[in-house]
Amino acid sequence: MRDPITVSQINRYIKGLIEEDTFLDRISVKGEISNLTYHRSGHIYFTLKDTNSQLGGVMFKSRVATGLKFQMKDGDKVVVTGSIQVYEASGRYQIYADRIEADGVGDLYQKFLALKNELEEMGMFDQLYKKPIPHYVKKIGIVTAPTGAAVRDIIHISKRRNPYIKLVLFPALVQGEGAPASIVKGIKTLDSMDLDVLIVGRGGGSIEDLWAFNDREVADAIFSSQTPIISAVGHETDFTIADFVADLRASTPSAAAEMAVSLQSDLEERILNDKNRLEALMQMTILAIRNRTEIMEKRLEAKSPQNRLKEYREKMKAESDRLFYVMKRVIDVKRAALPREEDLAHSIGMKIEKNRKRLIINSGKLDALSPMKKLRSGYGYPETMDGKHIMKAKDLSVGEQFKMTMEDGIIKARAEEITEDNSYGE
C-alpha cells in the first residue's frame, strides 16, 4: 500500500492534469446563469448550469471591460469562453471566463457587423448628412415603449429642464418580432407632425433585446427623416445601427432628454442678453440718426433765404466801402495834380458831384437787385422742402409741398395744379 498523500498534493495533481489538457485550455460552454454575484472587487462570480449539471465560474475584473458587453442576470442563457482550472485551496474546478455572450450572440453580432459595414460604405453614417439639433426646442417626439423607465426618464427630465416643453409619444414595440415595423411607423408618423426633434430608443438589455434597433428598415427610416433624431438605445456601452445613423447619439434616454431640452433658466438668460444687445443697438442707431439730423439742419439753415439776404447785404456794404475808398483815392490824386487851389476846389466839387450822382445811381441799381426789396414788393422766394430754389413751374410736381419765403415769414404750400406758360420767356 502506498503512503497516504496530503489533500494539497492530490488537488495539485488534479490541477496539473486539467491544465495539461489542451481541450480544456480554450473552451466555450453554454448554459444558464444562476447564483450571479457582481462583487465589490469588480470580479463576477456565477454558476453555469443546464438540466442535469452545473459548473462554477468567475470573470476577473481585468476581463470584464473587454469580455462582457451586457448586464448579466440570473436566468440568462449564455456562452462562456475561457479555460477550466482547479482552485487548489478548495479543490473545486471552475471555468475562468475571458468572454461571456448571450446564447446566439455570435450570429447576431456577425449580422450586426455585416449591416454596419454595408451602411457605412453607403455613407449613411457620414457627418455630411447629420442634421443639427435645434437650440430652442419646443416640441419633442418620442418613439419608445409607453411604459418603463426610458419614457419616464425622458418625460421627467424634459419637464424638469423646461416645464413648457411639448412631448408627443408614439407608443412603439421596442422588442420582439413586430418591433422594427412599429418603430418605423412611429418615426414616419412623428416626422410628419412638424416637431423640432425626435428621440428614438429604449432602456438597456442584451443584444437580443436591442436587436430591433439593428434593423435595416429602422436605419432607413432614421436616415430619411426630415426631423433631427437623437438615438437613445440601452446603456452607455450599448451601440446599435440606429446610433450610427441618427443625427446624434445619447448614451441613455435620460441623456437624450438633457441634450434635446435646454434649461428654462438658460433660455431666459439668453433672451435677456439678446434684449440688452438689441436695446444697445437701438440707442446707437437713434444717436446716429440724431447726429445726422443735426448736420442736415445746419446745412439747410446755411442755405436759407435769410442767410442769403444777409450775404447780399454784406456784399453791398463791402462794395460801397470799396467804391468810397476808390473815390477818395481819385480825389487825392486829382487834388495833387491841380495847379491852383481854386481850380482844384472847383474840379473836386465837380468830381464829387459827378461821383455822388454815380453813387446814387449805383446804389439804386444795387437796391433794385436786393432780394429784400423784391420781398417787400410782394414777391416771394420759392423753395422745395429740402431747400432747393424753384426756378420754373416744371421744377414742381402736382401734389408736391414747397416753401415760399416772404418778407415777414415762410409759407408752406402744396402745388394743386401746374400750368406752364412759355410766353414770359419769349
Domain residue limits, the chain: 7-103, 125-262, 305-376, 381-425
C-alpha cell at 285: 442707431
pLDDT at 272: 66
Q: What is the 3-state secondary structure (H, E, C) of 331-369?
A: HHHHHHHCCCHHHHHHHHHHHHHHHHHHHHHHHHHHHHH
User: What single-letter DSSP state applies at residue 389?
Assistant: B
pLDDT at 298: 77
Mean pLDDT for the stretch of residues 316-321:
83
Confidence (pTM)? 0.47
Distance, CA of 420 to CA of 32 (rounded, Å)? 111
Average pLDDT over the chain reads 85
27-38 and 44-49 strand pairing: antiparallel
Matching CATH topology for 7-103 and 125-262? Answer: no
How many alpha carbons lie under 13 Å from residue 49 in its C-beta half-sphere? 12
Span of 224-228, 239-243, 302-306 with lowest mean pLDDT? 302-306
Mean pLDDT for the stretch of residues 381-393:
84
In 3D space, the residue among 64, 70, 69 whose CA is nearest the CA of residue 82 turns out to be 64
Mean pLDDT for the stretch of residues 276-291:
85
Q: Are 235 and 204 in contact (CB under 8 A)?
A: yes
pLDDT at 398: 85
Residue % of the chain over a pLDDT of 70: 89
CATH number, domain 125-262, options 3.40.50.720, 3.90.1150.110, 3.40.50.2300, 3.40.50.1100: 3.40.50.2300
Architecture category of domain 7-103 in CATH = Beta Barrel (2.40)
Residue 269 pLDDT > 90, yes or no? no
Residue 98 pLDDT > 50, yes or no? yes
